[in-house]
Amino acid sequence: MKLTSIPPHLVPAFTLAEARDAAVDARDLRSRELERPFHGTRAVRKIDDWQRLQLLARALPVHTFACGPTAAVVHGIPVPSAVQRDAFGRPTIAVSYPRNRIRGRGVRGRSLRIAESELVIRRRIRVTSAARTWLDLSAELDLPAFVAATDFLIARRRRRCTRDELAAVHAASPRAPGAHNRRRALELCSENSESPRESELRCVLELAGLPRPECNVAIYDGARFVARVDIIYPAHKLIVEYYGDYHRDADQWSRDEMRRAELESLGYRVTVVTRRDFDDLQGLAARILRLLLAS
């Protein structure tokens, strides 16, 4: 069946209310050629995660809002890949208590006690504020991942919240789910961290009982800049670097080795951590401890 009445401005996806406003033929809306991402929506062709989320936001009642992991991805707060997939695949949508939570295929509904001041618009989606999202995330993530989210929010380079603001949010709801994670994250967070993996690595090492390192420190040879290192134990002259997949590029690898040689020539020891090291956190911490004890 050819879809004859769907105007270009409704492509690639639309709500049934938008279709009615555009006088789309009801027979076209029943066509099997259209996908049904959510109740009350249609898609002419496959849509990406953001188009799907924005479509849902247009289809839902105006009093609803995204929260938890879904609000986190809207704000750009880093979360583990599995959490991010679920945040898009099954969005968490809330209403203010005592309204009844949203129920529907493909949506995770919640009813929250929340003030209007804790809601904002981001990317054309109504969501909880960054600070309120942090509060809700504390019950969704393990501690290293939550520390990474906290570091992102308070990061010196592009601060979204201050540590004091987050502490105030926690103090206002000290018994909300995730309280232990919030208390520990406020103790372990750093405004100097520049990537989620660096934050998780630092957290893992501290939780293993190792001394607190410094992060993203510039190393100089006199007045000459040598490198900016991810994690360093200055008293031990031990540098811990996280290498993501892009470090496998031949040119990047060559630069990494030159940088390592420069640092070692200045008396530093450099150890590298990769994604696979996170499969055995106990072994990773034990390795760093041995290096510290050998200094």
| Mean pLDDT on 46-72 | 97
User: Taking the CA of residue 158 as centre, how many other CA atoms within 13 Å lie in the half-sphere pointing to its CB?
Assistant: 6
In this model, does residue 213 exceed pLDDT 90? yes
Which pair of structure tokens corresponds to residue 140?
């969704």
The mean pLDDT of the chain is 94
CA-wise closest residue to 69 among 51, 55, 49: 49
**Over the range 135-144, which residues count as b (16 or more CB within 10 Å of their CB) and which as e?**
bbbbebbebb
Task: Please state, for a pLDDT cut of 90, what percent of the chain lies above it.
Answer: 88
Beta carbons within 8 Å of 163's beta carbon, 6+ residues apart: 154, 186, 189, 191
Asked if 29 and 54 count as a contact pair (C-beta separation under 8 A), the reply is no
Q: What is the pLDDT of residue 253?
A: 87
Kindly report, residue by residue over 1-15, the tens digit of the pLDDT: 566 679 999 999 999
Q: How confident is the model at residue 116 (pLDDT cuts 50, 70, 90)?
A: very high
Annotated domain spans of the chain: 8-48, 60-188, 196-293
| Mean pLDDT on 161-189 | 97
Q: What is the pTM of this model?
A: 0.91
What is the rounded CA–CA span in Å between residue 136 and residue 148?
15
CATH superfamily for domain 196-293: VSR Endonuclease (3.40.960.10)
What is the rounded CA–CA span in Å between residue 34 and residue 18?
15
CA-wise closest residue to 242 among 214, 275, 217, 268: 275
